[in-house]
Each structure stands twice: as C-alpha cells, then as structure tokens.
C-alpha cells in the first residue's frame, strides 16, 4: 500500500489543503515531501525501489524530504534573524 504513488499524492493534496487552513509552513513541508515521494514512485526505476523498498525506508525518505522542503521554505519565506519590526508612529497619536 505504501508503494502506490497515488496514496502519497492524495496525502500531498490533503496536506496542502491543510496548509491553506492553517498557514504555518509546517504542513506545506510535509505536503512537498509527500509529493516528491509520489513523483519518485510515478517515475519508477531503481530510485523508486531504493527510496520506498520497505515501509521504514519509505517513511525515512518522506521525513528527510519533508525536512529539506521545510528548511527551504523557512529560508525562502521565513523571518530572518536580522529582520526587526519597527514602528514609526503610534495610531493613538492622531
């Protein structure tokens, strides 16, 4: 069951919809990881056998791809440490 591409694709869609409802870039990282596993399985070949040959390997690959996707999202759209929010005027001063 875990070696079917459409299961991983359905999980990616559900996680992407969950990200729309709960915008925090956490579910989107998992969705991208699941989508990448689905793409690897859809393409097939030796890479698909190596990535999801066993159930533990499938979940390990999913976890690693999700972590990399989350770190990339955090780097691209996350708040940097040097970014400081400043206020020039107070709304109560009017």
Q: Is residue 16, in this structure, part of any structural domain at all?
A: yes
Do 66 and 30 form a contact (C-beta atoms < 8 A)? yes
Do 29 and 69 form a contact (C-beta atoms < 8 A)? yes
Q: Is residue 41, in this structure, part of any structural domain at all?
A: yes
Q: Which two tokens stand for residue 30?
A: 């998992």
Q: Which two tokens stand for residue 5?
A: 């591409």
Q: Is residue 34, in this structure, part of any structural domain at all?
A: yes
Instruction: Quote the CA–CA distance of 23 and 25 in Å, as a whole number.
Output: 6
pTM given for the model:
0.77
Q: Is residue 90, in this structure, part of any structural domain at all?
A: no
How many folded domains does the chain comprise?
1
Give me the domain span that covers residue 9. 5-77
Do 35 and 9 form a contact (C-beta atoms < 8 A)? yes
Summarised one tens digit per residue, pLDDT across range 7-45 is 999 999 999 999 999 877 789 999 999 999 999 999 988
Q: Which residues contact 26 (CB under 8 A, 6 or more apart)?
A: 19, 70
Q: Is residue 39, in this structure, part of any structural domain at all?
A: yes
């Amino acid at each position: 069951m875990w070696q079917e591409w459409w299961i991983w694709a359905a999980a990616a869609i559900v996680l992407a919809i969950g990200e729309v409802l709960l915008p925090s870039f956490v579910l989107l990282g998992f969705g991208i990881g699941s989508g990448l596993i689905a793409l690897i399985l859809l393409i097939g070949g030796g890479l698909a056998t190596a990535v999801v040959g066993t159930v533990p390997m499938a979940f390990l690959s999913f976890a690693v791809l999700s972590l990399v996707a989350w770190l990339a999202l955090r780097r691209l759209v996350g708040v940097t440490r040097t970014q400081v929010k400043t206020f020039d005027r107070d709304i109560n001063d009017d």
